[in-house]
Structure 1
Amino acid sequence: MPLRAQFLSFSQSSHFNSYFFPNSSFNVSYNQPNKPLSLTGWRNCKRNNFAISNASSSSTNGVPENVHIKKRKIMEHVFLLKAKRDLSEAEEKDMLDYLYTSQYHMSGILAISLGRVEGPNAENFTHGVYMRFQRKEDIAKFYNSAFYSRVLEEHVNPISYGSVCVDFEAEVEDDIIPIFRRGEDFNYGVECIILISALDMAPKEAIEDALYSLQHLISQYESFIVQATIGTNLNLKESEYSHAAVIRFPSREDFVFFKESKDYKDMWSLKFQPVTKKSLLVHYSVDPVGTELM
């Protein structure tokens, strides 16, 4: 069952089609810093916005009851790395700038976020990078890109000692804002990445049930979440993690509220622990990184 994400959206999905050309390069421009929405403002905003609905749907007080949301498949790429302890601020800024502005030099990248991982984690990852692609072929071209290989060789590998990549297919609402992650709602917030390594002997049904439980919980907490995607790793040769989730929260308070909730803890202990060999949860704050092409 696909996740349902609530967004400020255009009134017709056809608005997106005029912007979406498979062979074009999509560059997400930097936005000037805006004041983040408060929790109250965010929740009220989300309550008052609805996606495409069936014209025949009945409504109560102007709110459609049977909402039909058109979905589009996209590809998600997660890259976590371990930077050396003696990393300087200048080296870190240089690395993040080059990674972020890769979107301006390469076709197929629909959205990107990155930042310094906050708090300790079991794998000692220090930085996270998230990218969204249109198709599987775009990720294949990305891995074979001479430009990106040069970025890694010159600006990432010399100051890091380990990394992990996970690629998975997911679905989002078929409209400009949710697909490209554009607009004020995506300028700031917290990116949460969950990686899971399922037990080899775990029943497929139990794993699917666990993933569905996470999807269901996210739908219950959608007023505290900007967007969420979940999927199966398509790059198992490069990573031991079998599944991944990327959840964008509008604020650190919302992230903590979700992660520390009894619902999340109960779901994890009842559904995931019995089928999970290894798991990792990291998060980083999202802010514009740079404004110039590197």
Structure 2
Amino acid sequence: MIDKLEFFIALAKERHFGRAAIELGVTQPTLSAAIKQLEDQLGVMLVQRGSRFQGLTPEGQRVLEWARRIVGDARTMRAEMNAARRGLAGHVRIAAIPTALAMMPELTTPFRKKHPEVTFSIISRTSLEVLSLLENFEIDIGITYIDNEPLGHVAAVPLYSERYQLITAAENRYSDRETVTWAEVAELPLCLLTPDMQNRRIINQHLEEVGATVSPTLESNSMIVLFSHIRTGKWASIMPLNLAEVLGFSEPIRAIPIVEPDASHLVGVVAVKREPHTPLVSALLYEARLVAERYAQKQ
């Protein structure tokens, strides 16, 4: 039944039999047959059928919750037995919001030193995508904001507080200041992350708090794109303090704290809320707590 539940989870995620079959590496008739067998075993209809996928039935929504729990437990059991036999090894999949990507080596480098048989893949995603990927078992942990928007049913380990700075070229407006206000920042030609990014929603929120709005002259989902435009001297941006420190801004680029308000938001590691976690996830959450302690000592 575990295989059929995994098929059902994939179908619920893709909402299309053909795409789900491709994702699973099986034929569409094989997937359809597995779903039908699962319905027969459970005695309920799980999928609303027509000429195409039309969604899950109410019973299907409930079975999906159970499927995620059962499949997650089965994978955790297999991972724990593998770790008992071979030691901690395997591949870790991480999704992080763009502003947190620069700090990833602080987590991955000491972790791999302790566990050299572990490999990583790291992708950049929005905060909502991070949570969706976790829910569908497509990643092992996520790095995202944990105090600004609802997280749902996850375990969270706070890492650091994100504070904001105006990043601008020397000789530009306000570049000689020790601090600058949110209202003043709104007057500048800004390049910012796209509106689907929670960082952008946070920036919009703080501008609205001081009665200001912003119409950026450039938007991107890449921090590298933003930084490359700042270097031209024609744009400014708003970036977290920790990101500015990692990128090592120096002349002719200045990083100026933004005040009134002096805002901060908590970034942390999130994982599916379950006990026990897989050995890899448990070890990563432990490492995240050590990273958080190092950040706290810097403050």
Q: Which structure has the bigger radius of gyration? A: 2
TM-score range for the pair, normalised by the shorter chain length = under 0.3
The structure richer in helix per residue is 2
Q: Considering Cα pairs closer than 8 Å and 6+ residues apart, tell me whether 1 or 2 has the greater RCO.
A: 1
Q: What's the TM-score, normalizing by structure 1?
A: 0.25
